[in-house]
Amino acid sequence: MCGICGFTGEILNRTQVIELMTDLITHRGPDSAGFFADNDVSMGFRRLSIIGLESGNQPIYNEDNTLVLTFNGEIYNYKELRNELISYGHKFYTDADSEVIIHGFEQWKEELLNKLRGMFAFSIWNREEKSLFLARDFFGIKPLHYAKVNENFVYSSEIKSILAFPDYEKELNIQALDRYLSFQYVVPPETFFKGIYCLPPGHYLWYKNDEISIKRYFKIEFSPESSLSLENAVESIDQAIKESVNVHRISDVDIGCFLSSGIDSSYIASHFPGGKTFTVGFDLGEKYNEIKWARDLSKLIGAEHHCKLITADEFWNTVPKAMYYMDQPLADPSCIALYFVSKLASEHVKVVLSGEGADEFFGGYNIYKEPSALGIYKKIFPSFIRNLIAKLAKAVPFKFKGKNYLIRAAKSVEERFIGNAFMFSFDEKCKILKNPELASKPQEICKKLYDDVKDQEDVTKMQYLDMNLWLVGDILLKADRMSMANSLEVRVPFLDTEVWKTAQRLPLNLKVTKENTKFALRKAAEKNLPIDTAQKKKLGFPVPIRVWLRSKKYFEIVQEEFNSTNSSKFFNANILNRLLDEHFKGKNDNSRKIWTIYTFLVWYKMYFYE
C-alpha cells in the first residue's frame, strides 16, 4: 500500500513542491520514497512494502522508459498477468505486482483495467505523447483526487497533498456542507475543497493537451436469478469467499484480521486459522464492547487475539487527529474507533483483512428489511389514504410508537431512502443553516442512481444507491484513511470482482427475509462459524456518543464549539443549542445530528483555522 501524487507543468521550486506533497503522505508509505520529473511532469511516491520487498520501489518503467508508473494498491492476479505479458515479449525487472500494470497498459491500454483483480489507484505518464493516465479500482477501495490549478493538473491519494501545491488557493466548497448535513459524508465526486474532486470508482481519466477526459470502464449491474436455489447459492458464496480470502493473503509480510462480533469479519477470519485478530471496544457494557465475542471466536479458530478498550477521553482527544487524516469531515463516529483498531494492528502486522462490502453485496443492512415491513400496509391502503394518514401523523406534536412508520409508508423508496445515514432533512437544514438558500433536497442527488435501476425491486435499488454513495463516501474512505494514518494496509476480500459475480446473481429471497439480512451469506458462513455468530443481528460498530453527550464534560466541549465564531459563520446557534439541550436532558436522542455538526466544526478548525 502506498501513496502517490504529482502535477504537470513547470512551476517555481518544483522539486521542493513535489517533495513537500510527497512528505505529506509519508504515513501511507514510510518505507521509502521515489520521484520522477521531466520538463512536463513531476511525480512522487511513498511506499509501504508488501510484495517484492527488495525490488518493488517506484516509479516503475516499461522497457524503453517511455512510460512511468506510480501505483497505490495490490494486484492479486499479477502472477497470471505477468506470465501472459512475458508470452507477448515483455521483459520484467522486478518481482512486484505493480510492474504488470505498466507492461499491461503498454499491451492493452485502457482494456487492461478489466483484466486486473485487486484494489488500485495509479498514474501513468507517457513521455512521448505528453499524456497522463489515472485510474481507480472497480468499487473505490483506493482513493484518488485531482484538481485543475491554472495551467497545471494536480493529483494525489490524499487531498492534503494537493493543498500544498502553491498555486492552489484553498477555498471551502460551501455546497458540500449542505450535502454533508444530509448524508453525513461528502457526496462524491465533490469534496469540501473548491475545485478538488475524487475520481469515481470504475473510472479512468486522461489528461492531454490541457484537457481532462473521464470515462467509465466498470458499472455495477445486478442480474438476479429467480431460479437460483439456496443450496447452490450457499455453495457458490462459500467457494467465492474462500478463494477471495486466499488470494487476498498474497504477501511477503505478516497478515492479520480485524474482528468484531459480526458475521462479516468473523467469516473472513475463519478462513485463515492461526493468524492474528484485532478488536476494540468501550467500557460501557456488552452493547458497546464486542471484545468477548471476538476473543471467543479467536480461540475457536486458533487465532492470536489482541484487543483494546478505548476510554472516553482517548476517543474525544483523537477526533481532531482523525479529521486531519480524513481530509474531510465524516460524521460516522466509528471512524475514530477504526483509527484505534488500525493503530493496534499496526503494532503487530503490516496488512489486515476486513469485512467491508459484505452488507452492500449481500443485503446486510437492517434498513433493507423496510420494504417488506411496509409491504402489507401498502397493500391494504391505497396511496391517497397513506398520504392522508402521514399528514395527520406529522401534525401530531409529540412522538408516538409507529409515527415514523406511518410517515415513511406514504413515500416511495426513492423518496424515503438516501442511504444508511439520513441526518438532516431539507426542512431541518433550512432552519439550521445561516443561509437557508444553501439547502437542497438530498433526493435530487440520488435520482440519477435510482434511474439506473428503475426496473429492479426496492432492496436492490437500495443496495445500488449504497454501493455508489455510502460505500464510497463513508465505509471505504474511513477504512483507507484511518488505516493509512497508521501505515497499515487494509484488504477487503468481499469487495472482489469474482465475489461480485456471485453476489449479483442473488434474488431478493436469498438476500433479505423477515427474520434476518444477508440470508444466503449467513447460511454459507454456518459452514465455518458457530450458528449464533453466523446468525447474529447486525450491530454496526457501536460507539457510545449518545451516552457521552449526556455527561456534563462532553456536553460542554460540544457546547463551546456550537457557540464558537466558526460555528456562527454557518449555523444558527439557537437551533444547535436546542438540539444539544434536548439530548442532554433526555428529551430526544439527537446524538447523531449533534455529532454531524461537531465533527464538521472540528475539521473546519483544523483546515481553515482563523
CA 419/CA 430 separation, integer angstroms: 21
Q: What residues does 258 pair with on adjacent strands?
A: 278
CA 539/CA 366 separation, integer angstroms: 9
Structural element, H or E, at residue 257: strand 255-258
CA 562/CA 549 separation, integer angstroms: 13
Give the number of other Cβ atoms within 10 Å of residue 124's Cβ: 23
Residue 65, phi-psi category: left (phi > 0), alpha (psi -120 to 50), beta (remainder): left
Smallest Cα–Cα separation from 495: which of 366, 359, 368, 364?
A: 359
Q: Outline where 24-89 has alpha helix (H).
A: 78-87
Give the number of other Cβ atoms within 10 Å of residue 210's Cβ: 11
Strands 276-282 and 351-353: unpaired
Grid coordinates belonging to 261: 462480533
Instruction: Enumerate residues 6+ apart whose C-beta is below 8 A from 294.
Output: 259, 260, 261, 277, 279, 305, 307
Instruction: Enumerate residues 6+ apart whose C-beta is below 8 A from 220.
Output: 139, 202, 464, 467, 468, 500, 504
Catalytic, 430? Answer no
Beta strands in 379-499 (DSSP E): 489-491
CA 507/CA 589 separation, integer angstroms: 36
Instruction: Using the Cα atoms of residue 236, residue 237, residue 242 and residue 247 in order, give the sign of their dihedral.
Output: positive
CB burial readout 466-483, b (16+ within 10 A) else e? bbbbbbbbbbbbbbbbbb
Give the C-alpha distances (Å, rounded to integers) separating 266 from 159, 262, 263, 278, 290: 33, 6, 5, 11, 12
Smallest Cα–Cα separation from 249: which of 235, 268, 263?
A: 268
Instruction: Using the Cα atoms of residue 448, residue 453, residue 457 and residue 459 in order, give the sign of their dihedral.
Output: negative
Residue 508 phi, psi (nearest 5): -55, -45
Smallest Cα–Cα separation from 354: which of 246, 250, 238, 245?
A: 245
CA 515 to chain centre: 28
Grid coordinates belonging to 454: 428503475
Cβ–Cβ under 8 Å, residues 162 and 154? yes
Residue 175 phi, psi (nearest 5): -65, -25
3-state helix, strand, coil in the chain (%, to 5): 45, 15, 35
Structural element, H or E, at residue 131: strand 131-136
Angle between helices 552-562 and 573-584 in degrees, nearest 10: 170
The catalytically annotated residue of 5, 257, 335, 446 is 5
Grid coordinates belonging to 426: 431539507
SS3 157: coil
Omega before 59 cis (within 30°)? yes
Q: What is the number of residues in the chain? A: 610
Looking at the annotation, which residues are catalytic? 5
